[in-house]
Amino acid sequence: MPGGALRGSVADLRPYQETQASMTAPVTPTTLLGLLHDAPDGQTALIQPEPHIRLTYGDVRTQVRAVARALAAAGVAAGDRVGMALPNGAANVITFLAASEAGTAAPLNPAYKEDEFRFYLEDTQARVLLLPPDGLDEARKAAAALDIPVLTVHMDDQGTVSITGGRTLATTAAPEAAPGNVALILHTSGSTGRPKRVPLTHTNLSISARNVARHYQLSATDVSLCVMPLFHVHGLVASTLATLATGGTVVVPVKFSPLSFWRIARDHGATWYSAVPTIHQLLLARVTKGEPRPEGAAQLRFIRSCSASLAPQVMHDLEEAFGAPVLEAYGMTEAAHQMSSNALPPGHRQPGSVGHGTDVQISIMDGGGNHLKPHERGEVVIKGPNVTSGYENNAEANATAFTDGWFRTGDQGFLDERGYLTLTGRLKEMINRGGEKISPREIDEVLLTHPRVAEAVAFGAAHPMWGEEVAAAVVVREPITEAELLAFCKEKLSDFKRPKQIHIVETIPRTATGKIQRRIVAQAFSPS
């Protein structure tokens, strides 16, 4: 059978095809700033609880244009990468939209170490780096080493955002992005260990945001409580852009805290929130059976879970504790976030499933490029205008990632007759720690730079809160303790990437053919 040919009869596939067709609607490409076009000037767009800042849609539009002009005056032009390492909050949202308007936003995790900042800034060829007024010394050192100008992002007590630093051009035209421009550049961990650059256009992101908004029936009356970091598409697209696309309000605390979550939800009338399972479990951990529901849960229309698998029991406990339906979804960076989701009541919800495609075509493919029938397991593949056109400057990765226009996700699963997707595992080696995707080879390479380490294999170890935690097994050349190796990793890796256990062994477990497989290593060091 030739690659890409459909396996099975037309009748076998009709329910799936009908489901997909019903989920696909005509879309009008727009820019991210264009998503905000229809909301009245006086409608509340952003709320930052502490310190309290309230910005209307008129404020946001005005400030985004002003900051975009300031970036242009600092030398940023269309296509230039604007590095950002900012905490969550209203200033982050304004700055992100402005960076996507003037050039291409490249948000980075503020918790990165100097070496990590250097890699990402150099890899993206960042024109400038935007930082808060204080802190982030690791980022500042990395920028200095690469001779990248640092611009400071300020927000006053009234919520007005401005930037200072760098050069200022005498005259600049007001920047105006086009739908086809790359708005956002993010990195995703790859099986080779070297992160891959994912370019997402304004069209990719705006379509994804509208898909999310349409699926959850968001409106101007909805209030999203954003607890996910804004350096990931989960927080950017689902919690923020989808809400702004419908004239709703985004409440964006600077930090997530289970202690203040329900008070913030109550004070600002949150109607939904989206989070990874780890955050859901942190909120559940503060619930005592028999006690009344948190006051802030009363207004919730639904709770969304994405970026990592949600156990059916946790889903049940969430609904029982907070009195709102839990909708499990499936997303990834290359798809500008959401690909599938369970439906709002009274629509069908299927525990253990990540739902059906949300204006995204989903199929299951075998290694030869053949599409499989319902209930046959294979690799999940996707297609749609939200999906990236390919990794940047990485022909090798693109050759394996795309088959006949379908993007291979690296996840394994199956579709049922209704088009509902169940994920059954990963074909990729990535470690999923609470929604953070970590390449184990990146950890290997750091450990192997230690002069006393001869071999290193990182792997995901089961964890009750995070789903997986990073662990490693090493063979050493000279005596060294686990504590010394952990301290070495602390200097080189962000906290979420650092192994929490390092097993010092004489040999690394291998297959019968002598190959190292991470699953075998993980099994060897898993508790019996």
Q: What is the pLDDT of residue 171?
A: 61
Q: What is the pLDDT of residue 12?
A: 35
Q: Is the pLDDT of residue 29 over 80?
A: no
What percent of the chain has pLDDT above 90?
71
Please give the average per-residue pLDDT across 356-383, as a whole number.
95
Say if CB 278 and CB 308 are below 8 A apart: yes
Q: Token pair of 283, please?
A: 């909120």
DSSP E strands in 377-466: the ranges are: 378-383, 402-403, 406-415, 421-426, 431-433, 436-438, 453-463
Instruction: Write out pLDDT tens, residues 47-68.
Output: 999 889 999 999 999 999 999 9
What percent of the chain has pLDDT above 70?
91
Instruction: Write out pLDDT tens, residues 299-355.
Output: 999 999 998 778 888 898 999 999 999 999 999 999 999 999 999 999 989 888 999
Please give the average per-residue pLDDT across 249-258, as a whole number.
96
Q: Cα-Cα-Cα-Cα dihedral of 82, 152, 245, 276, to 10°?
A: 80
Rounded to whole angstroms, the maximal C-alpha distance in the chain is: 68
Element at 58 (helix H, strand E): helix 57-73
Kindly give the pairing relationship between strand 81-84 and strand 104-107: parallel
| Span of 14-23, 114-123, 497-506 with lowest mean pLDDT | 14-23
Q: Give 1's DSSP letter.
A: -
Does residue 366 sit in helix, strand or coil? coil
Tell me: cis bond preceding 51? Omega within 30 of 0 counts.
Answer: yes
Q: What is the pLDDT of residue 21?
A: 37
Please give the average per-residue pLDDT across 491-505, as a whole number.
93
Per-residue CA distances from 197 to 184, 251, 444 (Å): 10, 29, 20
Q: Is the pLDDT of residue 164 over 90?
A: yes
Instruction: Write out pLDDT tens, residues 201-246.
Output: 999 999 999 999 999 999 999 999 999 999 999 999 999 999 999 9
Q: Is the pLDDT of residue 138 over 60?
A: yes
Q: Give 34's DSSP letter.
A: G
Q: What is the pLDDT of residue 425?
A: 74
The values of phi and psi at residue 94, to 5°, are -60, -45
Q: What is the pLDDT of residue 525?
A: 84
Q: Token pair of 449, please?
A: 């730079």
Q: What is the pLDDT of residue 17?
A: 35
Please give the average per-residue pLDDT across 288-301, as a whole number.
88
Q: Is the pLDDT of residue 269 over 80?
A: yes
Please give the average per-residue pLDDT across 493-502, as a whole number.
93
Q: What is the pLDDT of residue 119?
A: 94
| Other beta carbons within 10 Å of 242 | 28
Q: Is the pLDDT of residue 27 over 80?
A: no
Q: Is the pLDDT of residue 257 over 70?
A: yes
Please give the average per-residue pLDDT across 39-47, as a whole number.
97
Q: What is the pLDDT of residue 185?
A: 98
Q: Is the pLDDT of residue 2 over 60?
A: no
Q: What is the pLDDT of residue 170?
A: 62
pTM here is 0.83
Residue type, 139: A
Residues 6+ apart with CB under 8 A from 59: 45, 159
Query: pLDDT category, 14, cuts 50, 70, 90?
Result: very low
Domains defined for the chain, CATH in brackets: 33-414 (3.40.50.12780), 431-524 (3.30.300.30)
Please give the average per-residue pLDDT across 168-174, as a whole number.
70
Instruction: Write out pLDDT tens, residues 393-407.
Output: 999 999 999 999 999
Q: Is the pLDDT of residue 139 over 50?
A: yes
Query: pLDDT category, 106, cuts 50, 70, 90?
Result: very high
Query: pLDDT category, 15, cuts 50, 70, 90?
Result: very low
Query: pLDDT category, 520, cuts 50, 70, 90?
Result: confident
Question: Of 164, 170, 125, which is closest to residue 148 (Cα–Cα)?
Answer: 125
Q: What is the pLDDT of residue 237?
A: 98
**What's the distance, Cα to Cα, between the start and end of the chain in Å?**
44
Rounded distance between C-alpha atoms, residue 37 and residue 210, angstroms? 13
Please give the average per-residue pLDDT across 275-302, as a whole number.
89
Instruction: Write out pLDDT tens, residues 422-439.
Output: 988 777 677 888 878 887
Average pLDDT, the chain: 89
